[in-house]
Amino acid sequence: MQRTGQYTIEYNNPPFIIGFASVVGKKEGEGPLKEYFHKIENDTKLGCQTWEQAESKMQQEAVDIALSNSSINSKDIHIAFGGDLLNQCISTSYNIRNFSIPFLGQYGACSTMIQSLLLSGIAVESGCAEKALAVTSSHFCSAERQYRYPLEYGGQRTPTAQWTVTGSGAVIVGKDTNGIGIRHCTIGKVIDMGVTDMNNMGSAMAPSACETIKSYLTDTNTQPDDYDLILTGDLGKVGSDLLMELLLKENIDISEQHNDCGKMIYDIEKQDVHAGGSGCGCCASVLCGKILQKMYKQELNNILVIATGALMSPTATQQGESIPAIAHLVHLQNS
Amino acid sequence: MQRTGQYTIEYNNPPFIIGFASVVGKKEGEGPLKEYFHKIENDTKLGCQTWEQAESKMQQEAVDIALSNSSINSKDIHIAFGGDLLNQCISTSYNIRNFSIPFLGQYGACSTMIQSLLLSGIAVESGCAEKALAVTSSHFCSAERQYRYPLEYGGQRTPTAQWTVTGSGAVIVGKDTNGIGIRHCTIGKVIDMGVTDMNNMGSAMAPSACETIKSYLTDTNTQPDDYDLILTGDLGKVGSDLLMELLLKENIDISEQHNDCGKMIYDIEKQDVHAGGSGCGCCASVLCGKILQKMYKQELNNILVIATGALMSPTATQQGESIPAIAHLVHLQNS
C-alpha cells in the first residue's frame, strides 16, 4: 500500500469484495430499493425481547447471509471490523459474540460501514488477514429512544430531521483476481462547523463530506466525471443540497454523479421521513443492497462511496457542545 | 506483515514507538507510580465546565506532550486511532477535533489502548501512514455517572468493584531503526462466560485474557519466561487471581512475569480502591508512564501487554444480558 497525495491511501494489490448482504426492516422494505435487499424483516423485534437484541440479530443475519452467499466459513475470517450507534456499540459486540472471529470494534457513527470496509481492505492487503469482515447496523427504535425521545412520547419531527434506518450490511473482503476491488481510501478528519441542532445532522455532516471528496479528487488528480456514481452515506435532502453548494465553491460539480443513501432508501414524500434516512444501517444496507449488486452485474463499475458520521452524544449536546463530523471515502472499481 | 499460527500477526519491519505520554488525575498522582506520569492534574475538571470536557482535555494534553517530547508536528501524523468509554466515544472525537489528523474511532472498552496501538503499527508497517497516533482515556467522574450512579448518591462499592482511573495515554508510532519495536499482536475474540455482575468486571474479562495469552504463546511457540513482563490491562486483584487459575489449567504459569495495571496504579489497601483500577486510562497511563519509560531505559526489553475490555452497556445489563469481554495483545521488544 502507499500514500497518494496528502490524505489518500492506494491499495496496490487491491483487496476484493467477495461477499455482501443487507437486511432491513419493514419500512425500508416498502421503499424504492425493496427488490435489492437480501432479507426484509417485518417484525420490528425480530422475535427478540428488546429492540437492542433485534438490532444485534439483524446484524447476525446479514453476516450469515454474506457468509452463506459466498460459501465462506466464519472460521476463515481472520478479523472483523464493525460498530454501531448504540452506547458501547452493543449491537456489534453481542453479534460478534456468536462468531469465533477476532474483533476490532469501530466507532465512526454513520460512517462506520466505510471505516470498517477500508480497514478490512488494509487488513487483507497488508497480510494481517486472508479475509476480513465489515459489519454495521442501526435500528429506528433503539436509536430513537437513545438519541431523542421515548417512542411512546410521539415527539414532533422538524423538516430537517432524518429517519434512522432499520437495517444492517455486511461485507466480506478477501483476495481475488477480479471483481469489485477496493482501490483507494481517504480517511476523514473531524470537522466541526458549529452546528448544534441534533435535528439537522445533514448540515453538520456536509462540510466533512466536502472536505474528504475534495481531498480525494486532488490527491488522485481525478474528476467527478471519471466516476459512475459518487454516493454519500446519509446526508439526506438538506445535507446533500448543502454539499453541492459547498463543493461548487471549490469549483467541484458532482451534481451529475451524486446520490445519497439517505435519499435513495425511502420515498421521501410518501414515506414521511422528512429529510431522508440516516444511521449506520443506511449507508450499509444501500451499499450492500442496490449498489454492490449493480457493481456485481457491471451496471456500475467505478464508484466513490463517502459515509459521513456525526460524532456527538446526547450528553455532549445537552452540555451545549456543537456537532463534530467525519467522512471516510472508498473508491471501488470493477476489474 | 504476516500471520503466525492461528491468531497472531507478525510485524516484519517492526514499527517503533517514537513518542508517548501519560496524564493522570490527583488520586493516580498520589499512587505508587506517581514519579512516572508526565503530568498530574489535581483539578478533577481541569478548569473545564464538565467532567466530559475535562476528560477530553486530559487526552489533548497527553497528545500534546507526546508530540512535543518527540519533536513531532501533529501535521506529520497520518492517522489517529483512539476511543474511550463514554457514549459515542466523545472524549476522543472532541479531542481529535483540535488536531487536523485523519481519525478512525475505536471502541474496545478498556482494551482500546492496545487495539489502537496494534492498528497504529499495522498502519505504519503497511504504508498507510508514516506516523500514527494511538490515544485513549477514562475519567472516574464521567464513567461513574454513566455506568453506575450519580456521584452525589454515594453508592456503596462491592469488594470486587474496580475504580475507574482518571488518566490518558498517547503513543506515536513511526518508522525507526532501533528502539521499542512492535513485534507481534494477537487480536482477541469476544468471549462471554455468563458473568452478569457489573461490579465484577475482572472476572468477566479474565477468560478472554487467558484465551489471548494462550493463543499468542502457542502461535509464537514461546514460553512465559521468554518475557521480562506479561502485563494485563485492568483485571485488578480478583481478575488477576482468576487469570492465573485459568492459565494453570492450560499448564501455563505466568506468575513470575505477570503484573496488572489495575493492581499497579493504586496502593490498593491505602487508597481504598477495592479490587484495583480499571478504565481505558488504566492500561494507557501505566503503559505510557512506567512501562514505556522502563523500556526506553532498557530496564525492560521484551514484554507482552494484554488489555482487556468488557463490552456491555448499562442498557444491555438492565436487559439481563451477560458481559462479553475481549483481550488484545501486543508484543513489544527493544532493539
Spell out the per-residue pLDDT of chain B, length 335, in tens: 999 999 999 999 999 999 999 999 999 999 999 999 999 999 999 999 999 999 999 999 999 999 999 999 999 999 999 999 999 999 999 999 999 999 999 999 999 999 999 999 999 999 999 999 999 999 999 999 999 888 888 888 898 999 999 999 999 999 999 999 999 999 999 999 999 998 889 999 999 999 999 999 999 999 999 999 999 999 999 999 999 999 999 999 999 999 999 999 999 999 999 999 999 999 999 999 999 999 999 999 999 999 999 999 999 999 999 999 999 999 999 99
Contact state of B115 with A104 under an 8 Å Cβ cutoff = yes
What type of residue is A155? G
* DSSP class per residue in B8-67: EEE-SS--EEEEEEEEEEHHHHTSTTGGG-SEEE-STTTTSSSHHHHHHHHHHHHHHHHH
Q: What angle do CA A132, A236, A332 make, to 5 degrees?
A: 35
**Residue A274, C-alpha cell as written in the block:** 422528512
**How confident is the model over A41-71, as pLDDT tens digits?**
999 999 999 999 999 999 999 999 999 999 9
In terms of domains, do B158 and B186 share one? no
In terms of domains, do A9 and A155 share one? yes
The shortest C-alpha distance from B261 to chain A (Å) reads 22
In terms of domains, do B263 and B305 share one? yes
Beta strands in chain B (DSSP E): 2-4, 8-10, 16-25, 39-41, 79-84, 103-105, 131-138, 163-164, 167-174, 180-186, 229-232, 258-260, 277-278, 302-310, 325-334
CA distance readout (Å), A95 to A58, A69, A103, B163 = 9, 19, 11, 29
Shortest CB distance from B187 goes to which of A1, A86, A102?
Answer: A102
What span, in angstroms and rounded, lies between the C-alpha atoms of B71 and A41? 54
Last residue within a domain, chosen from B174, B207, B236: B174
Return the sign of the alpha-carbon dihedral for residues A114, B306, B193, A73.
positive
In this prediction, residue A157 carries a pLDDT of 87
In this prediction, residue B157 carries a pLDDT of 87
CATH of the domain at A113: 3.40.47.40
Last residue within a domain, chosen from A155, A174, A193: A174
In terms of domains, do B21 and B166 share one? yes
What span, in angstroms and rounded, lies between the C-alpha atoms of B283 and B262? 8
Q: Which of A78, A293, A305, A11 is nearest to A179 (CA)?
A: A293
Residue A23 confidence (pLDDT) above 90: yes
What type of residue is B160? T
**How confident is the model over A181-194, as pLDDT tens digits?**
999 999 999 999 99
In terms of domains, do A197 and A158 share one? no
In terms of domains, do A294 and A279 share one? yes
In terms of domains, do B199 and B233 share one? yes
Contact state of B103 with A313 under an 8 Å Cβ cutoff = no
Please name the residue that has the C-alpha cell 454539499.
A243
In terms of domains, do A189 and A169 share one? no
Average pLDDT, chain A: 97
**Residue A50, C-alpha cell as written in the block:** 428488546
Q: Specify which residues B186 forms β-bridges with.
A: B8, B329
Q: Are B188 and B112 in contact (CB under 8 A)?
A: no
**Residue range A148-166: average pLDDT?**
90
Beta strands in B100-160 (DSSP E): 103-105, 131-138
Determine the distance from the C-alpha atom of residue B287 to the mean position of all C-alpha atoms in its chain, rounded to a whole number: 7
Please name the residue that has the C-alpha cell 471502541.
B107
SS3 content of chain B, % helix, strand, coil (to 5): 40, 25, 35
Element (H, E) at B245: helix B236-249
**How confident is the model over A250-290, as pLDDT tens digits?**
999 999 999 999 999 999 999 999 999 999 999 999 999 99
Percent of chain A with pLDDT over 90: 95
In this prediction, residue A155 carries a pLDDT of 84
Q: Which chain A residues are Cβ-neighbours of B321 within 8 angstroms?
A: 90, 94
What span, in angstroms and rounded, lies between the C-alpha atoms of B83 and B166? 15
In this prediction, residue B156 carries a pLDDT of 86
- For residue A194, how many other CB atoms are within 10 A of its CB? 7
Model ipTM value: 0.98
**Residue range A111-120: average pLDDT?**
98
In terms of domains, do B281 and B319 share one? yes
In terms of domains, do A296 and A161 share one? no
In this prediction, residue A149 carries a pLDDT of 87
CB neighbour list of residue A30: distance below 8 Å, 6 or more residues apart: A271
Please name the residue that has the C-alpha cell 474483533.
A103
In this prediction, residue B314 carries a pLDDT of 94
Q: Which of B35, B144, B138, B42 is nearest to B95 (CA)?
A: B138
Q: Identify the residue among A79, A100, A104, A312 best suited for mutation to test binding to B, counting B beta carbons within 10 A and taking the highest.
A: A104
Q: Which residue in chain B has the smallest CA separation from A130?
A: B3
Residue A176 confidence (pLDDT) above 90: yes
In this prediction, residue B154 carries a pLDDT of 85
Shortest CB distance from B109 goes to which of A88, A109, A128?
Answer: A88
- Domain membership of residue B8 as a residue range: 2-174
In terms of domains, do A165 and A211 share one? no
Longest C-alpha distance within chain B, in Å?
53
If one counts the domains in chain B, the total is 2
In terms of domains, do B147 and B192 share one? no
* DSSP class per residue in A153-216: G-----TT--EEP-EEEEEEEE--SSSEEEEEEEPPPPB------TT-HHHHHHHHHHHHHHHH
Residue A156 confidence (pLDDT) above 90: no
**Residue range A309-317: average pLDDT?**
95
